[in-house]
Amino acid sequence: MRLLLDTHALLWWRDASPRLSLRASEAIGDGHNQVVISAATLWEIVIKRGLGKLQFPDDLEEVVREEDFMVLPITFAHLRALDGLPRLHRDPFDRLLIAQALADGIAIVTDDRRFAAYGVAVFW
């Protein structure tokens, strides 16, 4: 199974936070699953870290490599899907994740209930 991690899911995974559901934690840790991190998630972390809104001292490239995650680039197919999304969610990073998941048929690991309104597969 392919799983696209929302930003908070990635952060909670790295912190071994109990806020990450047991189901999501087990799926992320299952070596049979392919865990994907969007370039948009990495961008969001860098922006929030730079603004002082997020403490994440780890090097993102090392994190992706250590965890054996794949980076999902932003493609024109993703942008087309984003362009067609209704404005149900205001967060631009989340909207891009939704578009990527819809375009690529990937489930998103998130506890954000607003994602389901887009018809995207939510894994939590």
Predicted local distance difference test score (pLDDT) of residue 98: 97
Q: Residue 50 and residue 55: Cα distance in Å, rounded?
A: 9
Average pLDDT value over all residues in the chain: 95
Q: 30: domain range?
A: 2-123
- Does residue 90 register a pLDDT over 90? no
What pTM does this model have?
0.93
pLDDT digits (tens, 9 = 90+) for 100-114: 999 999 999 999 999
Q: For position 15, which CATH number holds?
A: 3.40.50.1010
Kindly give, in sequence order, each residue whose CB lies less than 8 Å from that of residue 19, ignoring residues fewer than 6 positions away. 8, 12, 111
User: To which H or E segment does residue 34 belong?
Assistant: strand 34-38
As for how many domains the chain has, the answer is 1
Predicted local distance difference test score (pLDDT) of residue 87: 87
